[in-house]
Structure 1
Amino acid sequence: MSDPSGEDKQQPQPISANARRVLGVLVEKAKTTPDNYPMTASALISGCNQKSNRAPQMKLDETDVLNALDELRGVGAAREIQGNGRVTKFRHAAYDWLELDNPQAAIITELLLRGPQTLGELRTRASRMHSIDDLDATKQVIDSLIAKGLVEALSPPGRGQTFAHTLYPPEERQHLQARVEKQAAQAPQENRNAVDALIARLDAVTDRIDDLEARLKRLES
C-alpha cells in the first residue's frame, strides 16, 4: 500500500480465525446496537457464538475471546477501556487499522463474519450496517478494497464471482482457494445435471400434450 507522500504503508498482517470473529463482532455491534457498545468479554462471547449472521458457527469461551482481544490489541485493531462500574470493555480500531470508510467497513465486516461471498450477498448483508444503493455501488466499494489490498476475488469475473478479505493466514488462504476451485470444478457437472433434468421434464410434458391431442382427434372424429 502507498500513500500520497510516497511512503509505502505496511499491509495489515493476517490474524487468527478467533481474532477475525471478535473484530467482526465489535464492528457489527458498534453499527447495529450502539447502545450496547463498547462490549464486555461476556457480550463478545455471545456475539461470536450467535447462530445468525455467522459462518462457520463457533463456540468460543472466555479464554478464546480474551486471547483474540490480546491479538487484536497487538496489531492495533482493538482497544481496552474502562466502562461504568469499573467493568472492562472493548472497542474496535478497524477504521484506523485498515483505513476504512463506512461502506468499506460494512463489507469487510460481513467477510469477517461469514467468509467469502458474492457481490449480491455482500450488498444485501452489508446494508444492515450501511445502506448500499445497488450492485454497481457495491462493486465500487469492493474495487476500492481490492485497491487497498484488503479484498481479493477468489473466482473469475461473472455471475457468482466470490470475494474474500486478505486477513487469512497463508495456510487458511490455501485451503480456502482449494475449496473454491473444487466447487468451481463441480459446478459444470451440476449444471449439466440440472439441464438434463429440465429436458426430461420438458420431454414428459411434450409426450402428454401429444397424447392429449391424439385423444381429442379421436373424440372429434
Structure 2
Amino acid sequence: MAQASEPLQDLKFLEARILGVLIEKEKTTPDAYPLTLNSLSAGCNQKTARDPVISASDSELQATLEELRSRLLVLETYGASGRVLRYAQNFAKVYGLPTAGVTLLAMLMLRGAQTVSELRANSERLYRFDDASSVEAYLEELAARSSGALVCRLPKQPGSREHRWVHLLCGAPAQSGAAEATAAEKTNTELEERVARLESEVAELRAAIQALGGATGAAPASPATAAEP
C-alpha cells in the first residue's frame, strides 16, 4: 500500500463529509460525476445513509470546497459542457491509498463508527470485499500506517459482539464516546471478577458447612441422651 510521505492536516467535519460524498458518487452515479454544487449539496444533506444527518448551506459548502481545493483534495472542472463548475475528489492520490482503503474511509466519513460486518455491507456498491477478514485486514493496515493511523478500533459497547471502527481523518474520536465505551468495558470486567470471587467464596462456605456437619455427626452421644430408655 502506498503511503503519504508525512502526516496530513486533520480534516474538518464538513470537509470529510464532502470528500465522502465525492468518493461515493464517483462509483454510484458515474454519469453525474464530477458533481455540481447542487448535486454535492444533495449528497451531503441527504437523510439516508448519513450519520449524522446535517443541513449545510451552499455558502458553507462553497467555502469548504475552496479549502479542500487549496490542499489539492478537490479538483475543479467545467466538464464537457464547459458551462457549470463541477468538483472531483483527489483523496486517493493525496493520501496514497488503494481503492479498498478509500472505500472504507468514505463509509466511515459518511456513516460514522461501524463494525466490520457493517462496513462490508455498506461498501458493497463501491468495492466488493471477499469476506469480513479482508475488511479487517485493510482496517489494520490503515491503523498501522507509518505516516499516521487513519482509523482506530473502539472498545466493545455493552452487549455488542463486535468492535466498531472510526476514522481519524478529523483527529481523535470524541473522548466522551470513547471514554464511555472504555468505562463500560472496565465495569463489565470488574463485575465478572466480582461474580467469580463471590462464587468462589460461596463454594468455600459450602465446603466449610459440609465439613462442620460431618464433624458434628461423628461426635459421641451426650450423657443425657445415653440415659434415656
TM-score range, shorter chain: 0.7 to 0.9
In the alignment, structure 1 residue 93 sits paired with structure 2 residue 95: no
Task: Specify every segment of 5 or more residues in structure 2 that has no aligned partner in the other structure, as ranges.
Answer: 192-229
**Separation in structure 2 between the aligned mates of residue 161 and residue 14 of structure 1, nearest angstrom:** 24
Whether the 8 Å contact between 1:39 and 1:89 is mirrored in structure 2 is yes
Given that 1:106 and 1:127 are in contact with CA atoms closer than 8 Å, whether structure 2 keeps it comes out as no
Matched, 1:24 2:26: no
C-alpha distance in 1, partners of 2:124/2:9?
A: 27
Q: Partner of 1:86: helix, strand, or coil? A: coil
SS at match of 1:59: coil
Q: Is the 8 A contact 1:78 1:91 kept in 2?
A: yes
Q: Take 2:40 and 2:31, find their aligned partners in 1: how far apart are those partners? A: 14
Aligned equivalents of 2:29, 2:64: Cα separation in 1: 21
1: CA distance, partners of 2:150 / 2:34:
25
Please identify the structure whose Cα radius of gyration is greater.
2
Q: Which deviations, in whole Å up to 9, do the C-alpha atoms of 1:91-143 show, x marking residues without a partner?
A: 00011011111111110100110122111111111122100111111111111
Matches within 5 A, 1:111-190: 111-148=108-145, 149-155=149-155, 159-169=161-171, 173=172, 176-186=174-184
Q: Could you tell me how far apart the structure 1 residues matched to 2:93 and 2:85 are?
A: 22
TM-superposed CA distance for 1:184, in Å, is: 4.8
Q: Name the Cα RMSD after superposition.
A: 2.4
For residues 114 and 179 of structure 2, the distance between their equivalents in structure 1, rounded to whole angstroms, comes to: 14
TM-score of the superposed pair, with normalisation by structure 2? 0.72
Match of 2:224 in 1: none
Q: What SS class does the counterpart of residue 21 from structure 1 fall into? A: helix
Between Structure 1 and Structure 2, the one with more helix by share is: 1
Match of 1:14 in 2: 10
Equivalent pairs counted in the alignment come to: 181
Q: How does 1:41-80 map to 2 (within 5 A)?
A: 41-80=37-76
> Partner of 2:125: helix, strand, or coil?
coil
Counterparts in 2 of 1:102-117, with a 5 A limit? 102-117=99-114
Query: Normalising to structure 1: TM-score of the pair?
Result: 0.75
Note the C-alpha offset of 1:144: 1.6
- Determine the C-alpha separation between the residues in 2 that align with 1:101 and 1:62: 31
| Partner secondary structure for residue 152 of structure 2 | strand
Gaps of 5+ in 1: 193-221
The residue type paired with residue 161 of structure 1 is H
Structure 1 residue 186, shift from structure 2 partner: 4.5
1:31 CA drift (Å): 0.9
Counterparts of 2:113 and 2:77, CA distance in 1? 32
